[in-house]
Amino acid sequence: MGNDRVSKGRVTIREVAERAGVSTATASRALSGNHPVPPATRARVLRAARDLDYVANAHARALVGGGRKMAAVVVRQVTSPFYAQVAEGVEAEAADRGWLCVVGATGGDAQREMEFVQLMREEGARLVILVGGVVEDDAYRERVAHYAHALDSSGARLVLCGRPAPDPEIPALVVEFDNEAGARAITAHLLSAGHRGIVFLGGLPGNTALDARVTGYRAALAEHGLPPEAAHVVDCGLGRAAGHRAMTELLKSTGEFTAVFAGDDMVAAGALRAIADSGLRVPGDISVVGYNDIPLAEDFNPPLTTVRTPAEELGRAAVRIALRDPEHAAGAHHLLGTHIVVRDSVGAPPPGRAL
Amino acid sequence: MGNDRVSKGRVTIREVAERAGVSTATASRALSGNHPVPPATRARVLRAARDLDYVANAHARALVGGGRKMAAVVVRQVTSPFYAQVAEGVEAEAADRGWLCVVGATGGDAQREMEFVQLMREEGARLVILVGGVVEDDAYRERVAHYAHALDSSGARLVLCGRPAPDPEIPALVVEFDNEAGARAITAHLLSAGHRGIVFLGGLPGNTALDARVTGYRAALAEHGLPPEAAHVVDCGLGRAAGHRAMTELLKSTGEFTAVFAGDDMVAAGALRAIADSGLRVPGDISVVGYNDIPLAEDFNPPLTTVRTPAEELGRAAVRIALRDPEHAAGAHHLLGTHIVVRDSVGAPPPGRAL
DNA sequence: AGCGTCAACGTAAAGGTTTTCAGAGCCGGA
DNA sequence: TCCGGCTCTGAAAACCTTTACGTTGACGCT
């Protein structure tokens, strides 16, 4: 009775069964609750497991069960607020169902992305979520087609968050924000404040998320009766540094504009800094809007008017939709809504510069 | 020859072996590289594996190998920039060695923390890293002692990042920043700028990280010959909202102060906003410093002088130290250095209010 | 030639759990 | 009394890989 746990190594179900005076089959049934067991027996087994500090071996379980409750989320980098929020959503939704969540950071490297997907196949993940816009070139299309088929043959599901499925035929689920609608709405917001010269700062041709925002931006201009040449897109890419550099450049130019639509909030942060450096004021001289509404956007100077993309909800939705009805999910395309958050970075155009 | 992959389910090593005309043992040796195999044979096996799109079953491998290359990092929330950076460091260091990294978010709930640690035991993680300051009460001490022994008996290592080991005897490794030194340094920075009335905003009694900062703050004051009553600590806790609230309150008070030492950058963000709301200027009227140097600190208005705690390096160090020499690691206590980042939020005290 | 050594590789066990199959005991109905 | 059906339980197979052990044959040395 006193020799609990004297042997080295983990306690196995055999020891639990032995102590409870049942077979391993019965112990397994009592512990996993997979099959009914009389209350008295069940209690004995549970008691024994607790006494021995039994910990089930997830590998053995997964080995026989063929797969495991594990979701993987792959992002460019965990420290980006947007990706972090998506990852948190995935983690939360996974945790709610008792699933494990692993994260992979690629740093934007396709090679690491492939390695990670491969690793997830080995690990038997049942859900792989690839997050973040990309440039959709041939290499990308081929890569995703490969993932989709490889994971499909492993019985896993593939979700693309904010990136396109190259072919409607491949078994992947797409969940993303309606970037076009969001961009259209916030451009309309600037237009209704009186702005006519609006620069889109942060284009990245080939990146479908940004392309969609540009499309929405152009659509809003057109809807307000402006000619196509009123659109002015600066393809500086994303990031605070890029925004700062491009804005500094723009301020030196002779272009007529009174408002800036930054491709995302980080670009907006860089732009705001560049504007402040140049001695101009926001929104007195220039109005600025961003995209994504990162947590610190309300602490920008001034607090940033932006488009709220509920990133955590995106992560949650990805898991929820993928797991809801597997059959119907593959190949589907879900668009999540966004809305404008009005703060202090938009005002009327300065009288002297209004077009 | 043409009937590749006709059967359902995963391709096993048996099929690879069969196709290559060798036994599973040889196939395993060729694939894992664990044991030398003649180049010709090896090539045949690899070829067969590639043809069949063979994916090793990580569970079976872990089952026989006893454990697996997996690290777990547990944080309060992934979206906090500091935690995100630590998690990224852990992920990067793990990925460098071909390890898998899973993250758990507790939301500050001890119950979820316990469940997650239990899950990691089942999953056979070899390294569990608990990140983030906590209030060190009896419940915490008991909890950590339980983790340490439970993980130890599973052959896993426990690392505490920025939180204390309740007892030097328990088999846990502590890796954290030298908060006391960092706080002492930045307080000295304020003192040498001429400030004498310095408020510490964001105390959280029982939280060892913040307590250490308060200790460093008091030490610096004492070193400059100020009496103990010169210290003024506001225990408002962390977060932007708390900082905003406490700073607003403080500005209404009659207290004499010319500088604020915020417990972390988020508190500083809130404080800056409160000061701006009240019409005062930083650093003209009040100087402000923060702690942690989150990525956006340089975009605060004004850019924030703060203490840089290389969070990603903390994550990397945790993995590296824990894996370096296991025997020596347990029970050890590592302090990582920090340094001040000078930006624009500190100036001389205003002439009228200098003490 | 005889023998020892060693490389190459196959056989089989081990790792821990779940699940299928079947047996045992029991109850109720015919 | 007999039997169908039910509940409870145990033996054993299955999941897939690694590895300890053993066998075979080649090669070199005496």
Task: Encode pLDDT of A284-305 as tens digits.
Answer: 999 999 999 988 898 888 999 9
Please tell me which of the candidates A10, A105, A299 has its beta carbon nearest to residue B273.
A299
Kindly state whether residue B8 falls inside one of the protein's structural domains: no
Q: Based on the number of CB atoms within 10 Å of its own CB, is B279 exposed (0-12), middle (13-18) or buried (19 or more)?
A: exposed
| Mutation target among A76, A90, A151, A296 for the B interface, most CBs of B within 10 A | A296
Using pLDDT thresholds of 50, 70 and 90, give the confidence band for residue B330. Answer: low
On whether residue A321 sits in a domain, the answer given is yes
Q: Averaged over B252-267, what is the pLDDT?
A: 92
- B216 and B195 in a common domain: yes
The pLDDT tens digits of the residues spanning A235-267 come to 999 988 999 999 999 999 877 899 999 999 999
Looking up residue A107, the CATH number of its domain turns out to be 3.40.50.2300
Q: Are residues B244 and B272 in the same domain?
A: yes
Residues 234-273 of chain A: which lie with beta carbon within 7 Å of strand D?
none
Return the percentage of chain A with pLDDT > 70, whole number: 95
Please indicate whether, in this complex, the C-beta atoms of A57 and B122 are within 8 angstroms of each other. yes
Q: What is the mean pLDDT of chain A?
A: 90
Residues B33 and B92 in one domain: no
Q: Which of A10, A59, A121 sits opposite B59 (nearest CB)?
A: A59
Contact between chains at B57 and A101 (C-beta distance less than 8 A): no
Residue B187 and residue B160 share a domain: no
Min Cα distance B284 → chain A (Å) is: 17
CB contacts of B270 in chain A (<8 Å) are 299
pLDDT digits (tens, 9 = 90+) for A87-125: 999 999 999 988 889 989 998 899 999 999 999 999 989
Answer yes or no: is A154 within a domain. yes
- Residues from chain B that touch A101, judged by Cβ atoms under 8 A, are 102-104
Interchain proximity B59–A56, CB inside 8 Å: no
How are the residues of chain A apportioned to helix, strand and coil, as percentages rounded to the nearest 5?
50, 15, 35
Residue B62 inside a domain? The answer is no
B167 within some domain: yes
Q: Are residues B318 and B281 in the same domain?
A: no
Indicate if B80 and B161 belong to the same structural domain: yes
Using the structure, give the distance in angstroms from the CA atom of A58 to the C1' atom of C16, rounded to a whole number: 9
Question: Could you check: is the Cβ of residue A64 within 7 Å of any atom of nucleic acid strand D?
Answer: yes
| pLDDT at A345 > cutoff 60 | yes
What's the number of domains chain A is made of? 3
Domain boundary among the residues B5, B30, B56 is at B56
Burial call A197-233: b when 16+ CB within 10 Å, e when fewer: bbbbbbbbeebbbbbbbbebbbbbbeeeebeeeebbb
State whether the beta carbon of B28 lies below 7 angstroms from any atom of strand D.
Answer: yes
Same domain? For B227 and B349 the reply is: yes
Question: Is residue A1 included in any domain, yes or no?
Answer: no
Answer yes or no: are the C-beta atoms of A225 and A252 closer than 8 Å: no
A10 CA from C11 C1′ (Å)? 28
Range of the domain at A80: 68-177+311-336
Q: A110 and A231 share a domain?
A: no
| B18 and B150, same domain (yes or no) | no
pLDDT at B294: 86
Instruction: Give Cα separations from B321 to B144, B169, B313 (angstroms).
Output: 20, 18, 12
Q: Has residue A5 got a pLDDT over 50?
A: no
CA–C1' B32–C8 (A): 17
**Does residue B299 sit in the same domain as residue B208?**
yes
Please name the residue of chain B whose CA is at the shortest distance from the CA of residue A79.
B84
Q: Which of A66, A101, A240 sits opposite B102 (nearest CB)?
A: A101
Asked if residue A19 keeps its beta carbon closer than 7 A to nucleic acid strand D, the reply is: no
Residue B4 lies in a domain: no
Strand C positions closer than 7 A to protein CB:
7-12, 14-20
Per the listing, tokens 């990042």 go with B161
Beta bridge partners of B201: B234, B262
User: Residue A183 — very low, low, confident or very high, per pLDDT cuts 50/70/90?
Assistant: very high
Q: How far is CA A305 from each of CA A108, A243, B355, rounded to the nearest angstrom?
A: 29, 16, 41
* B29 CB closer than 7 A to any strand D atom: yes
Asked if the Cβ–Cβ distance from B59 to A53 is below 8 Å, we say no
Q: What are phi and psi of B111, to 5 degrees?
A: -60, -45
Which pLDDT score, from 0 to 100, does residue A4 have?
Answer: 39
Tell me the pLDDT tens digit for each residue of B216-253. Answer: 999 999 999 999 999 999 999 998 899 999 999 999 98
pLDDT digits (tens, 9 = 90+) for B281-310: 999 999 999 999 988 898 888 999 999 999
Q: Does pLDDT of A354 surpass 60? A: no
- Domain assignment present for residue A63? The answer is no
The CATH number of the domain holding residue A21 is: 1.10.260.40
> What was the pLDDT predicted at A134?
78
CA distance A178 to A173: 15
**What pLDDT is recorded for position B7?**
44
What is the rounded distance in angstroms from the CA atom of residue B177 to the CA atom of residue A113? Answer: 32
The C-alpha of B104 sits at a distance from chain A's nearest C-alpha, in angstroms, of: 7
Our measurement of CA B38 to C1' D26, in angstroms, reads: 15
- Residue B334 C-alpha, separation from nearest chain A C-alpha, in angstroms: 24
Question: Chain B: nearest CA to A221, how far in angstroms?
Answer: 31
Confidence of residue A351 (pLDDT cuts 50, 70, 90): confident
| Distance of C1' in D22 from CA in B56, Å | 27
Residue B326: what pLDDT? 65
Same domain, A265 and A299: yes
Q: Tell the burial category of A164 from Cβ atoms under 10 Å away from its Cβ (0-12, 13-18, 19+).
A: buried
The answer to whether B97 touches B316, Cβ cutoff 8 Å, is: no
Q: Which of A345-354, B9-18, B51-60, B156-165 has the lowest mean pLDDT?
A: A345-354
Same domain, B27 and B88: no
Closest residue by Cα to residue B19 from B58, B56, B46: B46
Please report residues of A whose CB lies closer than 8 A to that of B312: 79
Q: What is the CA radius of gyration of chain A?
A: 26
Provide the 10 A C-beta neighbour count for residue B309.
27
Q: Is the CB of B192 under 7 A from strand C?
A: no
Alpha-carbon distance of A260 to A272, in angstroms, equals: 10
Average pLDDT over all residues of chain B: 90
Indicate yes or no: strand D within 7 A of the C-beta of A23.
yes
Q: Is residue B1 pLDDT above 80, yes or no?
A: no
